[in-house]
Every structure is written in C-alpha cells, then in structure tokens.
Structure 1
Amino acid sequence: MRRIISIIIFCIFLVSCFPAAAEAEKGSVNFTKNDRVLILAPHPDDETIGACGAIQNALKKNAKLKVVCYTNGDSNELAFIVYEKRITFRKGEFLHMGEVRRKETVRAMVSLGLKQTDLIFLGYPDFGTPEIFTKYWGKVASYKGLFTRVSKVSYPEAMSPGAPYVGESVLKDIEKIILDFKPTKIFVSHPADVNRDHRSLYLFLQVALWNLEGKINSPQVLPYIIHVARWPLPRGYHPEIALEPPDSLADNGIAWHSLKLTEEEIKIKRDTTAFYKSQNASNPKYLFTFSRSNELFGDFPTLRLDPGDSGEIKWQDLKVYHSLETDPEYKKDEENNIVPDIAYAVSGGRLLARFHLKKKINKDLGVSIFLIGYNRKTDFNKMPKLYIRADSLGLHVRDKKQPLQVKNIEIETQDNELTLKVPLGLLGNPDRILSCARTHPDSLPLDETAWRVIYLQQ
C-alpha cells in the first residue's frame, strides 16, 4: 500500500513540475480521417508558410483537403523586378506574375501529395481586399487593381473568371466553397496580421460562416499569423527553434494552438517553400524563417456586450495589439506609440467606443474606427459599413464610399480620453459587429489595432 501511495505522490510531483507541457497538450492541433480541411491563403505561398505542417499531418490521416488562394499575388513589384530582372508598369506583366505565382503553388502543393483538383484560385486583386470589404458593395463601380488596373477576375484558371471586384463576388465564392466542401477545420490568415489582405480575408470568412449558420456544422477556425514587426527572429532556416507568439500578441487573450512538426516534416516544409522562386529571389531568408519545429494558430476571443440593467454601462476593455504597422526598435520604447486602449459597451440603443490615448486630441492627432454591422435578417451587402474619424475639427463619417452628414453620433472628450456614441440604428441594428481602430498622428506612422468580433447580447 505504501508503494502505491509513493507512486501516486511521485506522479503528482511530475505533473506539477511540467505545467507548460500539460498546457501545450491542451492547445495541440489534431487531425482524423474524418476531417475536411480547408486552407485559405491570401496570396500564393501563404498556404505553405502558415500551414504546410498542417497540410502534411492532414494528408497522413487521409483527411480531405482543399487549398484556396484568394489572390494570385500579382502586385508584388519588388519581387517582380528581382525575379524578372526588369522594371515594368504594364498591366499584362503583372497578370503574368500572378500566373507565375499560381503555377508555383500548384507545383508546391502537388509535391505534398495534393491533386490539382484540390486547389482553387479566386484571382481577386492583390492589395485590394480591405478596400473591397469596407467600400465595394451594392450598386458601385468595381474596384480596380493597383498595378493590374483591371476590375474583374482576369485569370482563366480562376473559380469565377470575369467576376467583378466587389464584395458580393468574393462572398459568393467563399460561401460556395464552404457549402460544397463542408470543412471541419479552416486555416485562415490572422486578423492581427500587418498585411491588410491577410486581415481582410479573415473578415470575409467570418461573414461567410455567419451567412451559412444552420446550413453546415460550424468548423473550427484556426488563424495563422505571418506578418508582424520583427517576428519571428532570427531570420532564415532554423529548424531547431520553435515559433512562439509575438510579444505584442502574448497577452491578448488568444488561445494559441501549437502543431509540433517532426524533422522530416520540417524539411518537407523547407523544400516546399523553395518552390516559390519568384518570392525567394527578393528576400532569400524570409520565407524559410517559418520552417521551424512547430506551427502556431490562434484567434482572439469574441467580445460580448451586455446592455446591462438600470442604465448601468458594462465596459469590455480590449487588450490592444499595439503597433501593427510600426517597428518598436525604431521608436523610443512606447514614447511615440499612441495607439489607443479601447473599451466597448452598449447602452441606451447606442454602441459606445472609448479610446484612451497617450496624447490629447489636437489638430494633428485624430482617431478613427471601422464599425461594420451584421444582422442575420438583412443581406450583408445592404448593411452599413461605417468609417468614423474624430479629430479637433469634428466628426467625419463614411458609409462604404459615401460621405454622410450625421448629427446623431455623439463625441465626448476629456483629457486623453475620447468616447464615441453611435446609434445602433445607424449600424443597421446589428447583432454582431466587426471593428478596427486607427490613430492618425501628424508626421508619425499610422497605428492600427487588429480587427475584433463583437456580439451584442439581446
């Protein structure tokens, strides 16, 4: 009996000594033969950088797989110049680069064991995703690509050739893919990624999944992050090093999931990355930086706003992801970092957004916020998509591309604090909101928070 008790005590001691290992096990990523895995990549190569290990593990379990590239990555001018060894501004040349990148992805994915029929290319504009998501809905001229200068899907191999560059086209394609494939797991770019195509693809996915509620079983969504200032370090191929969450995202409530890779899987990821010659030419070390001993996936928790009782305001404070666009190494710590701390609440039929800045609002400093509502009873293309800017000159409001003269948005300022009060009716009486905030300092880089999902409790 003493021996049994001693063994039990020893086991308890072992467990207490390794809490991190136990926690890591909770955040692992596992696949079964019944999984249907969808990889959403903003650009050709993101599927490999962010999820090549996941693809390998899913294939080993005989899970079904689909890889979808949202753009063909046709507007990377620097990569074009280095790879082609010439400068061009002809739109046909940029479409040519998009075709080069598509073929690289096909070869890379086939090398892993996927079939060409497992790959889908949507062909939407590189750099254009945030503009389309926030502005191009309804009866409006299509978005025009920055370098390609085309306003419709111009790749014959795309899912919907000729589809106009508007939000309805994108949403229709993503919904059809999900409805047909019925994924159990979706890997997608992160809402805190510096690259705005990456962040906005996440938003399109969120809306598509909301639209399909009740038509499919809810899949597990696993965002991967790629672009963060000075992360990961050191650059280059270091298979012995594990990916850890960026410092700026380490304390934001994200539940991180780690997929451990074997030595063979890491080497395969490195070899697969080598297929993207057009991108490796301009930055030989960068893409290989992600061939490490694990892959990381994780999402922000949903914010849930309660209207409260008896006029009580229940604020939900955000742990803001600071400096999406700026490198802290080139700032004096937080001296010039003025990204606001933000809190949200709902009260009296209004959404409240409270910004706590590190400097007072003045003529050279303003804040702005995107408030994009979702209502299950209203087509998303008809919902308001507000952009509100507040500065010392007052309020400036835009719904999609249309400036609005609005008198019922209130603004309160006190010292370094600014509060916006926006009627829910102006947002289309949403039950969910997608939101992102910015600061607009004079002579300083633009600071921007990650996109967050807000649910309004009824």
Structure 2
Amino acid sequence: MFLYKKLAIVLVLAAVLAIFVREAAAQGEPVVFDKEDRVLILAPHPDDESVATAGVIQQALKAGANVKVVCLTNGDNNELSFIVYEKRLVVKKGQFLHMGELRAKETVSAMESLGLSRDDIIFLGYPDFGTMRILVEYWGHTKPYRSWLTRINRVSYPEAMSLNAPYVGESILSDLKAVLLDFRPTKVFLSHPADVNRDHRALYVYTKVALLDLKERIQEPQLYPYLVHAIRWPLPRGYHPDLEFDPPQNFKDSGIRWQRLALAEDEIEAKYKAIKLYKTQIPYAPTYLVSFARKNEFFGDFPALRLRVQDPQYEIVWQELKSPEDLNEDEEDGQEGQGVVKDHFISNVFFARQGEYLWVKLVLSKNMEKNLGVTLFIFGYNKEKDFGQMPKIQVPINMLGLHLKDKKKMLSVKKIKYKNKGKVWTLGIPLSLLGEPDHIFSYVRAHSRSLPIETTAWRILEL
C-alpha cells in the first residue's frame, strides 16, 4: 500500500511539473530595452498605441531608446462613437474628417503625456475600415478605394505623411517602407494577425510585406504583435491596475510564445491617464479602453509554417495550422454580440505543397447552407517581383459552388482543382497562379450573405 501511495505522489508531481514546463515553454523572453534600441509603434487607429503599448513607450524612453509612433488611419469611420461624443448625428463628409483630426490630436496629447514629442508621431491618413479591402482588391491600374463615410479616395489630412496619396495598396506599402528605411527600427510593435478588427489584421500583412521587400536593405527588427480586439475579452471590464493581463483563453493552444512586459504602479497610472485623453472614444465604451491599463502588456506571433515539398505520386500529408477559435470579425471596442456565431463554421484549415500545387483542405462544422459561405484568401509573395503585381487570389464557396477571383477580376475555376465531400473542401491551386511565390499569406473568412461573421488569423506559409 505504501508503495502505491508513493507511486501516486510521484505521478502527481510529474503531472504538475509537466504543466509547469508546458506553461513556461509558452512564454517567451521578457521584453527589455536599451539605449541602442529604435522602437517603432505601428497603430491601426488613434488610441491603439496607448491601449497596447503605453508601457512599452515609457520603458523604452527610460532606457534611452528612440521611439516613433505611426498611425495607419485617423479612425474616421467609428460613426457610433462620434454620435455619442457629439450628441448629434454625424453624416457629412466634413464632420467625419473633423473627427479624424480630433482623434489625431488625442493621440498627440496622449503621447506627449508619456514623454514623446509631436515630431515622434506620424499619421498616414488611410481610410479607417478600408485598409483590408485595399489589401485584397486595390492594386495596380485601378481606381482608388473610396471610403464609405468620408466619400474620399485619397489621403486628405494636411499633416499626413503623403498628402493626396491615392487609396491603393502601393501607397500604404510605400509609406511603411519609407518609415522603416528612415527610422531603421530594432523593435517593431504592430497589430496582431488574429485581431478581429480588419484594419488591425491588414496592418500586420502590409508590415510583413514591407519587411520582406526591405530584407536586403535594413537589419531585420524584432516583431512584437499586440492584441486589442477579441471576443469577450478583456474581462472584467474597467480599470483594474491590480490584475494581470493575459491572452484570451482561445489562444491557449495556438502555438504562440507570448512575451510579457511588467509595468510598475506609476507606469500603469500613466497609461490609464493617457487612455483617458481619448475623449471621443471613452463615452462610447467607458469601461473598455481602460481595461488595458493593468500590470503588464504582452506580445506574440504565430510561427510561420514551412511547407515540405511532397511527391505527387504519394498521398498528401497535411500540415495543420493551429489557430485560435472564436475570431468573430469586427467586434469593435468590446461591444459583445456583434457578429457572434454560436456554432463555428470553420473547423480547421490544412495546407500541403505537392509538386507545383499548393493544396488546401477546409474542414467545416456543417454542410454549406443557403446564405452561408466561406472565402479562402491566398496571396503570393515573390522577392523578385512587385507585390502589387502579384495575384491576390480569392476562392468564394457557397451553395452555388466555387468561384475564383484575382483582386476584382473573376477567373475560370478550371484554373484550379477542387473536390467536395460533405463538410470538407479540398483545393489544388497551381503555384504559377499565385505568381510562383516563396511566401504565402492566407486566411479564411465565413460570411452570411455578404456580411463577414467569422475569420481565421492571417498566417504565413514559407515555400
């Protein structure tokens, strides 16, 4: 009996140790700064730089590092927040541009409160809620994207980096590359590829493409993606400076090694005060933004998936992408219940490279239904080619079957191989159709009619 008890204790201790080792392995090295660092903060909208990286900014400055903040948009598409702030309907083009100017001023005030100067902040002025659409469709010889609320199609803010730049992918990519070349950062903090806000996901892809383009011209910086929008997170809402800040539960088995930055009490308080300076946003969701002022900040990215070349004579060996569940698209500012899918439609995504084909297997939770479909996005990157000229392949699938697009242009589905068996769709896409890529950017989106309801994270495949 004594031997059995001793064995049971050993087994329990071994299990506890295994859990500890697994949890420790999921954590990366702590984030530290020194005076040689050049820290670049990339924010999709004004306020993201404070809610995600106010602690980073403070500690980098204390270490003597240079810090630069870049806002991709002026956040001029958040109509509901503007109505709450203005206490009146906001419908005119000039009113939305005015709100964009106000949000930029809030960022300047918040950054100055943390120790930066106006010269440390760059606004690019691209369309809020439009940068993903530009990424997918607006490249090359095309009319620029037109913003839904401002009704303009080019950068119109006088203080923007490239005034009058058209709303096309080349403009955004050019501005980001110019910033990277000029500032030559050692560390880049940027939005996360699994964030449910589309501008956040788009900025991640633009930045990764810019860095691939500049690989031979600048030293590769360390990347620290941060998360802002996720379903039912962070909880509890409100200012809780005594609480730890943890990733959402659905990221637990995502393969991400999270890195943490611990904040001192005075740094948490300074972050809270900076967030409160975004007066156009606080009334709209008073307990949401301040929820990010806690004991730490955290950062992490998915590992790239290296696709093995497989012999076409043999059965495909699939490589699975670990991806968090519950990514309901565009749940803004913690407003729960928008776009929530009770039963997730996208169960899993697998990839394989066999001969001259990229193979994709989409596993759905149920058979295709009326008004419900999925779209696979596959963008190739080739270091020898202009990314703007590379195909941006989309494969929409619904009850009527499968379709094929490159940007806005419809293609013949005969260009690819595909088969469907119940809940599983298997697609074979020629690498030549993708521009003979050395990297691939991909994600899958579920939609009801034309409204997005669920998405996977953007993932990078290495060929």
Amino acid at match of 2:381: Y
Does 1:340 pair with 2:347?
A: yes
Structure 2 matches for 1:70-109, cutoff 5 A?
70-109=72-111
Does 1:218 pair with 2:220?
A: yes
Q: Tell me the CA shift for residue 330 of structure 1.
A: 7.0
- Which of 429, 433, 439 is the equivalent residue of 1:426? 433
Q: Tell me the CA shift for residue 146 of structure 1.
A: 1.4
Amino acid at match of 1:39: I
What 5-or-longer segments of structure 1 have no aligned partner?
1-15
Alpha-carbon distance in structure 2 between the residues aligned to 1:389 and 1:368: 4
Q: Tell me the CA shift for residue 281 of structure 1.
A: 1.6
Structure 2 matches for 1:112-131, cutoff 5 A?
112-131=114-133
The CA RMSD measured in Å over matched residues stands at 2.3
Alignment match, 1:235: 237
Per the normalisation by structure 2, the TM-score is: 0.90
Q: Tell me the CA shift for residue 324 of structure 1.
A: 1.3
Per the normalisation by structure 1, the TM-score is: 0.91
Alignment match, 2:360: 353
Alpha-carbon distance in structure 2 between the residues aligned to 1:303 and 1:26: 19
Alpha-carbon distance in structure 2 between the residues aligned to 1:202 and 1:208: 10
Q: Tell me the CA shift for residue 90 of structure 1.
A: 0.6
Q: Tell me the CA shift for residue 322 of structure 1.
A: 2.0
Deviations 1:143-183 (A, max 9, x none): 11111111110000010111000000000000000011000
Alignment match, 2:322: 319
Alignment match, 1:385: 392
Query: Quick one: structure 1 residues 129 and 443, their matched pair in 2 at CA, closer, same or farther if it must change by over 3 Å?
Result: closer
What 5-or-longer segments of structure 2 have no aligned partner?
1-16
Alignment match, 1:403: 410
- Which of 142, 158, 161 is the equivalent residue of 1:159? 161
Identity across the alignment (%): 51
Q: Tell me the CA shift for residue 321 of structure 1.
A: 2.2
Alpha-carbon distance in structure 1 between the residues aligned to 2:416 and 2:147: 34
Deviations 1:396-436 (A, max 9, x none): 11111111223121111223211011111111111111001
- Partner of 1:107, secondary structure, is helix
Q: Determine if contact 2:73/2:127 at 8 Å carries over to the other structure.
A: yes
Bigger Cα displacement from structure 2, 310-319 vs 225-234: 310-319
Alpha-carbon distance in structure 2 between the residues aligned to 1:310 and 1:370: 24
Q: Determine if contact 1:311/1:348 at 8 Å carries over to the other structure.
A: no
- Partner of 2:310, secondary structure, is coil
Q: Determine if contact 2:341/2:453 at 8 Å carries over to the other structure.
A: no
Alignment match, 1:183: 185
Alpha-carbon distance in structure 1 between the residues aligned to 2:70 and 2:313: 47
Q: Number of residue pairs matched?
A: 441
Q: Determine if contact 1:142/1:151 at 8 Å carries over to the other structure.
A: yes
Q: Determine if contact 1:340/1:439 at 8 Å carries over to the other structure.
A: no
Alignment match, 2:453: 446
Alignment match, 2:50: 48
Deviations 1:18-59 (A, max 9, x none): 768965874311111111000000000000001000111100
- Which of 310, 313, 318 is the equivalent residue of 1:308? 310
Q: Determine if contact 1:314/1:346 at 8 Å carries over to the other structure.
A: no
Query: Quick one: structure 1 residues 238 and 355, their matched pair in 2 at CA, closer, same or farther if it must change by over 3 Å?
Result: same
Alpha-carbon distance in structure 2 between the residues aligned to 1:314 and 1:61: 48
Q: Determine if contact 2:312/2:354 at 8 Å carries over to the other structure.
A: no
Deviations 1:267-288 (A, max 9, x none): 0100111110110021111110
